[in-house]
Amino acid sequence: MIRFSNGQEAMFFAASGALGFDGRGWWHERLLSKISKKLLDPSLFWAVGKTLTPSLRKGNGWFKAQPIIDWTTFRIVGWVNALGMPNDGCAVWFLEHMRDGLRNFVLSVASVNGDAKKRFLDWEIMMASIAAWCDGLHIDLAALELNLSCPNTEHGKLPDVNEVVEFCRAAKARIKIPLIVKLSVAQDYCEIARRLEKEKLVEAISINSVPWRLVFPDRVSPFAKFGGGGVSGKIAQDHTWDMVRKLSEASSIPVIAPSIWNYEDIDHVMQLGAQAVHFGSVFMASPWFPTRAVRRWNEEQKLFVHSDHADKDPVGRGITIQRWLEKGPQLTEEVGKVFRAIKK
């Protein structure tokens, strides 16, 4: 669980791109949510909107995303996308949503056009505008995610350590809400985290999809024409989870772990040092899974107990029922009674 400076706590995020531009979901997700909140309940997540840029951006087209299938099991094991951040621009988003009371919504922004100087200038103007729009239109964003690692941009170069720090400084100078920075395995992320921590610039780090060439060095991407695209989901776990572990060791900035593919993954990434998780491409593989996982987690939370040893639990949420069984003798008499009652 991440506790932000505004006092809000977050454990489950819907990653950028998972629930549309406003966190309510793409059309098929809205339909699912209408059918039953048990299938998809957007209110269970801190929804990160799909990334916005300072002005309209066509990207590479909406069909530049496809599943990666393991043909031995006939299962989807990930996703590759080279969408290139199509969006109508930041100003249009604010115009469209100025009357919405978006709950736990995280705006995601990037500046990717032109040379380095132009990108930075665009970024500064965008930060000043966001601050003014939020104030003037009374839009209550939960946080702002700075996407400084999109693998699908035409200049193809990710910001280096100094650039990331500069971008974060510029955001921090204008924006008063918590900042999350989104990084890539292809960046010097440990050094970035150390520098950001030193200057107290961001409150959490999230993780982007992995450039195709790192996951499949010997295979041609279906989106080779667009630089190969970014790979996410189960197939990217080795890369993204290694990053979770190293980041957690490098600084104390909370890490939001990606690539959750089944329920047990949540505990696993927490053991690696993550303090929250996001659901990204799994929303596309099985849109009902994240809701089920969070409901199950919350159910277990209701039943879980803080034993005397809970503070030593690396997962940080005390003990789940399973561990409860293992650690039974440590529990108080009171808790034992509740447990026996449930077991009956």
* CA–CA distance, 341 with 338 (Å, rounded to integer): 5
Between 165 and 211, whose beta carbon lies closer to ligand FMN?
211
| CA end-to-end distance (rounded Å), the chain | 31
Shortest spacing between CB 103 and ligand FMN, in angstroms: 20
Between 258 and 287, whose beta carbon lies closer to ligand FMN?
258
- Contact pattern from residue 213 through residue 252 relative to ligand FMN, giving x for each residue in contact according to CB under 6 A and a dash for the rest: -------------------xx--x---x------------
CA angle 49, 161, 57 (to 5 degrees): 35
Span 305-344, contacts to ligand FMN by CB under 6 A: none
Name the nearest CA neighbour of 23 among 138, 198, 140. 140
Query: Is 112 an interacting residue with respect to ligand FMN (CB under 6 A)?
Result: no
**Per CB under 6 A, which region of 155-163, 254-262, 263-271, 334-342 contacts ligand FMN?**
254-262
**Per CB under 6 A, which region of 79-87, 163-171, 189-197, 336-344 contacts ligand FMN?**
79-87
| Given 42, 84, 229, 258, the residue binding ligand FMN (CB under 6 A) | 258
| Given 44, 85, 130, 170, the residue binding ligand FMN (CB under 6 A) | 85
| Given 10, 11, 12, 17, the residue binding ligand FMN (CB under 6 A) | 17
Span 267-296, contacts to ligand FMN by CB under 6 A: 278, 280-281
* CA–CA distance, 154 with 117 (Å, rounded to integer): 16
**Per CB under 6 A, which region of 11-19, 114-122, 167-175, 298-306 contacts ligand FMN?**
11-19
Shortest spacing between CB 208 and ligand FMN, in angstroms: 5
| Given 12, 13, 16, 164, the residue binding ligand FMN (CB under 6 A) | 16
| Given 11, 82, 83, 196, the residue binding ligand FMN (CB under 6 A) | 83
Q: Determine contact, residues 12/317, Cβ cutoff 8 Å.
A: no
What are the C-alpha distances in Å from 247 to residues 3, 171, 188, 213, 273?
A: 18, 22, 10, 22, 8
Query: Is 53 an interacting residue with respect to ligand FMN (CB under 6 A)?
Result: no
Q: Determine contact, residues 257/240, Cβ cutoff 8 Å.
A: yes
Query: Is 182 an interacting residue with respect to ligand FMN (CB under 6 A)?
Result: yes
Shortest spacing between CB 82 and ligand FMN, in angstroms: 9
Between 85 and 319, whose beta carbon lies closer to ligand FMN?
85
Span 132-171, contacts to ligand FMN by CB under 6 A: 147
Shortest spacing between CB 159 and ligand FMN, in angstroms: 13
Shortest spacing between CB 151 and ligand FMN, in angstroms: 9
Query: Is 79 an interacting residue with respect to ligand FMN (CB under 6 A)?
Result: yes
Query: Is 15 an interacting residue with respect to ligand FMN (CB under 6 A)?
Result: yes
Binding footprint of ligand FMN on the chain (CB under 6 A): 15-17, 50-51, 65, 79, 81, 83, 85, 108, 147, 182, 208-209, 232-233, 236, 240, 258-260, 278, 280-281
